[in-house]
């Protein structure tokens, strides 16, 4: 992909899709985090870059969330065919099962199809 320009805004039709993705990720993260450590996954803080798919020359968007230290803590990719992939780092112990550590929450799909899950890893 060739990146063109950074922007905070998406076209209106993609804004609705992005809001659905973020809502699903927030809902999934709430299941796997304690309320006091739940991340603030919000669309307003994503910085998008317009990218051009070299195969079909159509535009897509790559969004990046950054934390207070300016470290990347999540991504939201929306491709030219309206398929998408998103992930957001949680890095917290499982709130109800001490055997697990919650690494991240991910979402993927296309158009109306949306799947979301948390990635758990064994706690050492």
Separation of alpha carbons 50 and 60, rounded Å: 6
Task: Write out pLDDT tens, residues 83-105.
Answer: 999 999 998 888 888 899 999 99
Encoded tokens for 57 = 């020359």
CB 108 within 8 A of CB 86: yes
**The pLDDT of residue 7:** 59
- In this predicted structure, the answer to whether residue 6 has a pLDDT above a threshold of 80 is no
CB 42 within 8 A of CB 22: yes
The residues that bridge with 33 in the sheet, in sequence order, are none
Give me the percent of the chain exceeding a pLDDT of 70: 94
Task: Write out pLDDT tens, residues 25-38.
Answer: 999 999 988 877 77
CB 82 within 8 A of CB 75: no
Separation of alpha carbons 124 and 9, rounded Å: 41
Task: Write out pLDDT tens, residues 36-58.
Answer: 777 889 999 999 999 998 888 99
* Global confidence as pTM: 0.87
- In this predicted structure, the answer to whether residue 79 has a pLDDT above a threshold of 70 is yes
């Amino acid at each position: 992909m060739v990146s063109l320009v950074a922007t905070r805004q998406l076209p209106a039709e993609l804004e609705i899709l992005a809001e659905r993705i973020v809502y699903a990720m927030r809902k999934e993260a709430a299941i796997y985090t304690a309320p006091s450590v739940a991340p603030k996954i919000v669309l307003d803080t994503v910085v998008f870059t317009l990218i051009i798919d070299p195969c079909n020359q159509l535009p897509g968007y790559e969004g990046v969330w950054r934390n207070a230290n300016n470290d990347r803590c999540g991504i939201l990719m929306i491709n030219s065919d309206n398929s998408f992939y998103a992930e957001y780092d949680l890095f917290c112990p499982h709130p109800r099962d001490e055997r697990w550590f919650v690494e991240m929450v991910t979402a993927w799909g296309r158009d109306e199809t949306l799947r979301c899950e948390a990635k758990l890893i064994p706690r050492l």
